[in-house]
Amino acid sequence: MKRALIFVPAILLAACANEPPRQLSGPALPPAALPTYAIGDQVTWSNGQTETVVAVDGEKVSWRDQEGNTFTGYRNFALPSLAWDYPKSKAATEMVLPATTLWPLKTGNEVDFKVKQHLTLKIHNSDLSYHDEWGCRVDGTERVKVALGSFDTYKLRCKRYWQGSNIGEITWNYAPALGRVVKRNWTGAEEPEELIAISSGKLDPKAETVAAKVRQQGLEKLASGNGALGKAGGIQAQITPKASFVTSTGAICRDFLQTIQTKSAQATAAGIACRAKDGKWTVVDKIKTKAD
């Protein structure tokens, strides 16, 4: 679910307070254009959340997560979700402002706006409506390092208010070179979420076979930081092993970054693979492995 854009406290009323944007001292970036999406585009976050584009209608983009929950928002991710449908609730949002508000991104852009939301709590079979106010700012630029690499980003921050008090805050680091948010955080989250995989288009079913062969050879033979490239039947796979570590159970594991590319699709993912006694490297769950 797109939790980074949705707050659902027990009582949702708001009033906005004005404040100047913070000026981060970061890399020089030209004004950034809105991200573009196509059906099938996918992103995966460090908490295991995977979001796939299922529809695009002008400025509106609809997504489905790995559990089948759906939500719709603007390409402008800084604005609240327009609608969502989860097991316990569904909602629709009304806003009167341009969908491209704040864009092209540049330091100092800011906007305050009001939102009306209609919420249905499925478990109680009850409906409620509420109004709140938001204040969004482009704080500046900063270079951030995530599993997919280091990126020069714009940092956006939105605050939500109730009777002049801040009841929630969301921040995003948007990398213009990638056209995606690479880091996001919101009030109540245990830790920021980082982008660990991105894909566009539909990969050939044979792509994983090629990727697996390159992955096996690269993880077994290459020093950290060196890359290996393999090609077959119009498919190109590249892997760069990173740090190695040993789990509490004695398993030898390595972080890696892998890219798969065909004529019509591309995918890049950061992952972890562990070596079995027979020498075979198997991709494993990142969160569980790090916790061992």
Q: Are 268 and 198 in contact (CB under 8 A)?
A: yes
Q: Are 212 and 220 in contact (CB under 8 A)?
A: no
User: What are 159-201's pLDDT values in tens digits?
Assistant: 998 767 778 899 999 999 999 999 999 988 889 999 999 999 8
Q: Residue 248 above 50 pLDDT?
A: yes
Which segments of the chain does DSSP mark as H helices, in order?
207-221, 286-291
Q: Assign 249 a pLDDT band (cuts: 50, 70, 90).
A: confident
Identity of residue 247: T
The DSSP code for 224 is T
Residue 30 neighbours by CB under 8 Å, 6+ apart: 176
Could you tell me which of 243, 260, 248, 235 has the C-alpha nearest to residue 289? 248
Q: Distance between CA 26 and CA 218 in Å, rounded?
A: 35
Rg of the Cα trace of the chain?
A: 21
**Residue 52 main-chain phi, psi, to 5 deg:** -120, 135
**What average pLDDT does the structure give for the chain?**
88
User: What are 68-125's pLDDT values in tens digits?
Assistant: 999 999 999 999 999 999 998 899 999 999 999 999 999 999 999 999 989 899 888 8
Q: Residue 210 above 80 pLDDT?
A: yes
Q: Assign 205 a pLDDT band (cuts: 50, 70, 90).
A: confident
- C-alpha 11: how far from chain center: 28
Outline where DSSP puts E strands in the chain: 42-45, 50-57, 60-65, 70-74, 83-85, 89-95, 110-121, 126-146, 149-162, 165-175, 180-186, 193-200, 228-232, 235-246, 252-261, 266-275, 281-284
User: What are 252-292's pLDDT values in tens digits?
Assistant: 999 999 999 998 899 999 999 999 999 999 998 764 555 44
Q: Are 185 and 173 in contact (CB under 8 A)?
A: no
- Dump the DSSP string for 98-137: -TTTT-SB-TT-EEEEEEEEEEEETTTTEEEEEEEEEEEE
List, in sequence order, every residue forming a beta bridge with 201; answer none if it has no partner. none
Q: Which domains are assigned to the chain?
A: 3-199 (2.40.360), 201-291 (no CATH)
Q: Distance between CA 164 and CA 16 in Å, rounded?
A: 6
